[in-house]
Structure 1
Amino acid sequence: MSELNGTQKAVRWHPPSYDVRVDDIPIPQGHSGVHDVHICGHEFIGEVVALGSSFGAESAKGRPPLYSRLEVGHKVVSPFTVNCGECSVCRLGYTARCTGSLLFGSPLLNGGQAQYVRVPKAGGTLFDLSEPSTWASSMTETEKEKALSNLSDSSLLMLADILPTGVFAATQAINHPKVQPFITGKPWPLCFSSAPVPEGLQILDEDKVFTVAIVGLGPVGVCAAVSLLDIVSTRKIPFRIIAIDPNGSRREKMKAVYGAIDEDGKAGGEFVVVSVDEAKQKSKEWTHGVGCTAVLEVVGNTSALELAYDLVRAFGVITSVGVHQQRPLPFTGGNAYDKNVSLDFGRCPARAMFPPAFDLLVKRQDIFGTIGQPASLIDKIVDFGQAEESYRAFDKGEVGKVLFDPWK
């Protein structure tokens, strides 16, 4: 591996207090260790400047294709976790829980808010944006290349975390077994069978409406809403979606995003953006007190989970992609039993979710391709000199998605 010498600027967290600083530190060299003070950021895009000894035609036989095809100078985007691409877990698509997985921007692995980033297991982790044949898509190779030529770096950065995570939350909900009666129009358990529904067991049109609540309208929540709207409108599933956040500015962002989507992208249902108290009332109104078919929880705290439980119907689904710390769940096993609630928790397998996320990114450039507009997911791009203030403002809900340009 060729080595780069000197120092770089990086945004680092100095725990245990909420202390974010921009530091001058050495450029990473090989398998450098990480101490408690670490570089922030788990989303990054960049250019390959050096390759390790694992890369090359001879050493890459039988390994993920990037080990033989990735070259210095290629543009890449990384998911927020390292994944080997070679273990059984990765082969099954559960890349977020690869046996060798590490999270960028943690004490175990320095993050991406720096001028240079070291990527372990890079051949199984990175998306090579210079070589579209190395990843799947519903598009043809020609369509992929054309799409890439029209996508800005700021747009492509959404692939690192927030867009795949939003798509993951929506995908888990729409494909859950308990949702299938709404999709197939057949009651449980005949929804899994090709057998005809006997007379007298048919469900009514009003029973088929897929009612979903999205708790939290930060960047991931907006991505989840956009993905869910795309799925239900494309598949012509009757729907009602309740988008919820206590923060007024985030609600306004969600309203602007919804307003920017063309009619074909949201046809077939109703969509409202509301506060927490309004959400409970709207759920009762729309479902006659029964509750939502599914709830997407994208916040990561106990109050959000409490709200999700309150809103979900019996035989409903809660899919949580928020990052929960080590504290008790706000409901008991008895509560879950009493509602027959299914709970899906955990980290998005971003590497596996890349193909559908990329396709949605291309399709919804009206949302992901602009900066600083009312309907833009990205509010602004700043240099590292504004990093500390940007963290403070985001933490207080004063600003939405902010990107750092380390070379600005």
Structure 2
Amino acid sequence: MAQPLASTELTGLQKAIRWHPPSYDIRVDEVPIPRILHPDDAIVKVRLAALCGSDLHIYRGHGGVNAVHICGHEFIGEVVALGSSFGEEVNGRPALYSQLKVGHKIVSPFTSNCGECSVCRLGYTARCPEGFLFGSPALDGGQAQYVRVPKAGGTLFNLSEPSTWSSDMSKTGRETALSKLSDSSLLVLADILPTGVFAALQTINHPKVQPVLTGRPWPLCFSPGIEGETLSVLQEDRVFTAAIIGLGPVGVCAAISLLDAVSTRSIPFRIIAIDPNESRRTKMQAVYDTIDESGKKGGDFAVLSIDDAKVKAKEWTHGVGCTAVLEVVGNPSALSLAYDLVRPFGVITSVGVHGEPPLPFNGREVYGKNVSLDFGRCPARAMFPPAFDLLVKRQDIFGGVGEASSLIDSIVSFDEAAASYSSFDKGEVGKVIFDPWK
């Protein structure tokens, strides 16, 4: 069993935010600082950790969890110890086993992943068979002063060496961008921004969206060189109409990403952003108003309540329904609304975390509307490169803290953990970040 590097070995106790069963019980406890347990481990000193909507499932007692554990799956920090797998002469493994060093700054996706199996090689890193979710009984989370990262060479992103990931920017461009990005801004790369990008890309690239984008009917949209019988696709048929259900932090990220995708591709669009919570609608409107024209040109965008959204969708689509719906809530009522809003041969992309209640569709409904349903967890590590590029582009939203249009509402100490969970659960605050050393 590998041991921590002698010069960085840590002992003693740390402060950590822990959930206690059965529900709504958040405490700041003193627990042992984690140690290297496997040669592939890294120990990270946490600079900042965030509170995410997914944390609320366990907080409310709906996660099927009954064990005390350290919360949180979004963190950024500094490597303070590495297992014996890391070194200069490592070959045939993910590059970080050769490149990652004590002292390097990292951001972690919300799940660990090996980076070596077929699942990871294909980019489906969220479902690595050796992966675990941070902030669960299986793997203590990052709302602590230190966190252990298993399979660290396949999991972490090295912010101290930007040549280790792909980007539309040059290495110099990435270095320049990184020098200007705050830790609080970079922290959104752990989950919410990759998940928002994932939802948008899954939607805009879905096969059933292609007739709208190409102007060619199904299935000729997949065969540009083949002519079929003449069917007149009108300009009004080529307006991409979407709804986004849920305007928490992930929903806002999905909206920003979808707006960026349609505007940069010059796709005519109409997007309805929906939430029953007025404060979340106010935040979304402020975000939209702040985005410069390059990030939202070419269409219409409306932020509405559920009832008003139903009326607007009928008006904009002449009663046919939306091309696609992004569901970012994770409950049956949100899925029912998505089904009501989507058109026949439409797409529902769900990145909300769903629990045990059954899906609100029967066989006759799903057959009768030809709707495609995409569900599941974002492969955050695979989505890191496009998320980073969007983060740099949209610093008008991701760069600030506590402003009307800022995605991040506040940075608080662990002393405010219980109150922050409670306020977030009630929809009274948006994105909250914890400083473990404050």
SS at 1:232 equivalent = helix
- Give, in angstroms, the shift of residue 390 of structure 1: 0.4
Paired position in structure 1 for 2:251:
221
> If the length of structure 1 is used for normalisation, what is the TM-score?
0.98
Gap runs ≥5 in structure 1: none
CA distance in 2, matches of 1:11, 1:199: 63
Paired position in structure 1 for 2:37:
31
Please tell me whether residue 13 in structure 1 is matched to residue 19 in structure 2. yes
- Give, in angstroms, the shift of residue 114 of structure 1: 0.2
Written as runs of structure 1 = structure 2, the 5 A alignment for 1:200-239 is: 200-239=230-269
- Give, in angstroms, the shift of residue 195 of structure 1: 2.7
Written as runs of structure 1 = structure 2, the 5 A alignment for 1:253-268 is: 253-268=283-298
Alignment counterpart, residue 146 of structure 2, candidates 108, 111, 116: 116
Please tell me whether residue 42 in structure 1 is matched to residue 73 in structure 2. yes
- Give, in angstroms, the shift of residue 334 of structure 1: 1.8
- Give, in angstroms, the shift of residue 31 of structure 1: 2.9
> If the length of structure 2 is used for normalisation, what is the TM-score?
0.91
Identity within the alignment, %: 76
Aligned residues between the structures: 406
Aligned 8 A contact 2:22 2:66 in 1:
no
1:222 is aligned with what amino acid?
A: V
What are the Cα deviations for residues 108-144 of structure 1, in whole angstroms up to 9, with x where unaligned?
Answer: 0000000000000000000000011111111110100
CA distance in 2, matches of 1:400, 1:176: 30
SS at 2:410 equivalent = strand
CA distance in 2, matches of 1:95, 1:56: 24
What are the Cα deviations for residues 313-352 of structure 1, in whole angstroms up to 9, with x where unaligned?
Answer: 0000000000001121011122111000000000000000
Written as runs of structure 1 = structure 2, the 5 A alignment for 1:247-396 is: 247-396=277-426
Aligned 8 A contact 1:186 1:197 in 2:
no
SS at 1:57 equivalent = coil
SS at 1:49 equivalent = strand
- Give, in angstroms, the shift of residue 174 of structure 1: 0.2
Alignment counterpart, residue 87 of structure 2, candidates 33, 56, 59: 56
Where has structure 1 moved over 3 Å in runs of 4 or more?
196-200
What are the Cα deviations for residues 119-176 of structure 1, in whole angstroms up to 9, with x where unaligned?
Answer: 0000000000001111111111010000000000000000000000000000000000
Paired position in structure 1 for 2:171:
141
1:316 is aligned with what amino acid?
A: G
Paired position in structure 2 for 1:156:
186
Give the alignment's Cα RMSD to 1 decimal. Answer: 1.2
Gap runs ≥5 in structure 2: 39-64
Aligned 8 A contact 1:41 1:105 in 2:
yes
- Give, in angstroms, the shift of residue 46 of structure 1: 0.1
